[in-house]
Amino acid sequence: MNRMAPAKPQLIFLCASCGHESRKWLGRCPQCGEWDSLREQQQSKPRLRGSAVAEVFPLNGEGGEESVRLVTGISELDRTLGGGIVPGSMILIGGDPGIGKSTLILQLLAALAAQKHKLLYVSGEESVRQIRMRAERLAVQSDCIFLAAENSVQAIISLVEEVQPAFLAVDSIQTMYSETVSSAPGSVTQVRESTSLLVNLAKRTDLPIILIGHVTKDGSIAGPRVLEHMVDTVLYFEGDSSQVFRLLRTVKNRFGSTNEIGVFEMKESGLAEVDNPSALFLAERPVNVPGSVVMPSVEGTRPILVEVQALVSPSNLGTARRTAIGADPQRLALLTAVLEKKIGLTLFNHDIFLNIAGGIRIDEPALDLAVIVALLSSLYEKIVDPATVVCGEVGLAGEIRAVGQMEMRLREAQRLGFKTFLMPESSRRQLEAGSADGILVHPVRTVHEVVERLFV
């Protein structure tokens, strides 16, 4: 009697960068363009939905978002989350190794434990003894925090059903695995499947979950790009080991602004909140030095004053260098071309270096005018009045364009004692009467007026 041979397992190739599936190996991923990123995987059987019909609820029901948020008590973290943790939300936090992700999680659990919430911290990288040692160093002690060293997502779900916590922290998602998938932990399939199971747990039980994610060499969260689409909030912990402060930046938030940042200072006892980041970023600002100017930036709902530094020097190389730290290098090249074309400067034989002091990154167009002023100050070797702040967008025609939230920037400059504000003329006309009391406002329309106002 002939027996049919068992069917061979179907093999597919998954991109380690974006999760794209292919039936055959390709040297380059057709979706994200990465080379040699497709890995062979066994095709997992699709999980079929049950036949039960989901319950339907009216839109105008009880339990509005703002009334059910879980406020952590850490104001800088609550700011980035949009005012607190929403029940059933999935939060993903990434950052370089040693930046302070696990420290922040422990301090978050300590703040929630002070409100008598039962909490569960699951680590796939450390033992319970190691977590307790770190907690002792941070002076975190509570009977409401429960610890577990586990890598299986199914086991974590069983722990949640047993402990019934009000909050779950998982460190890290790349070390977790699902027992229904045969690939190794950290693979594209495992990361996606493990996250999917935890998302289902969060939405089904209204349990807020925070995941810690590893980052790649380019600073993005490791694993498939779909991972960031599956969660509700994505936070990046930024900073340099040589700097004392850390920035918690929101890059995705379904329940709040995506432009918020939280500022922390790293101390021996853990992360301390910084209530006045403007003063922190300007604390070591040099006085009466060419190439330095202050710019009021707005990150979400928070105005922050930062120092913009520029260095323009003759180049001995065949091709002059253009380097920007904390700003867009392409924007620096554009503004350099504007100065050459509209003012007649000769910069092709000069090295240009731009730096946003303190390690912060500014992406908004309002930085343009500060870059122009810093470049001119360094080139002309002329000092900009230390009590002056500048803000505005620069167009290709050399015009100074209006930027948003100017009154918020103006109030922050007044609060820190600045006396002069250089801004676009169109923004000056939009200010409310009396908002500029106590500070001298200089409206400008073109880069020519900027040169005449500050350097002639």
Rounded CA-CA distance 170/148 in Å is 10
Closest CA to 243 of 273, 266, 261: 266
Q: Is 404 annotated as a binding residue?
A: no
Q: What do you get for the CA distance between the two ends of the chain, in Å?
A: 101
Q: Is 93 annotated as a binding residue?
A: no
Give the C-alpha distances (Å, rounded to integers) separating 94 from 235, 236, 249, 254. 6, 5, 10, 17
Q: Is 61 annotated as a binding residue?
A: no
How long is the chain? 456
Q: Which two tokens stand for residue 215?
A: 């980052």
Q: Is 217 annotated as a binding residue?
A: no
Q: Where are the alpha helices (DSSP H) in 302-367?
A: 329-342
Rounded CA-CA distance 361/291 in Å is 18
Q: Is 300 annotated as a binding residue?
A: no
Q: Is 203 annotated as a binding residue?
A: no
The CB-based long-range contact list for 249-255 (8 Å cut-off, 24+ gap) reads 249/80, 250/80, 250/81, 250/82, 250/300, 252/228, 253/80, 253/81, 253/82, 254/89, 255/65, 255/81, 255/82, 255/86, 255/89
Q: Is 98 annotated as a binding residue?
A: yes
Phi then psi for residue 53, to 5 deg, are -90, 135
Helix axes 101-113, 128-137, angle to 10 degrees: 80
Rounded CA-CA distance 268/195 in Å is 33
Q: Is 157 annotated as a binding residue?
A: no
Feature table: binding site: 95-102
Feature table: binding site for ATP: 95-102
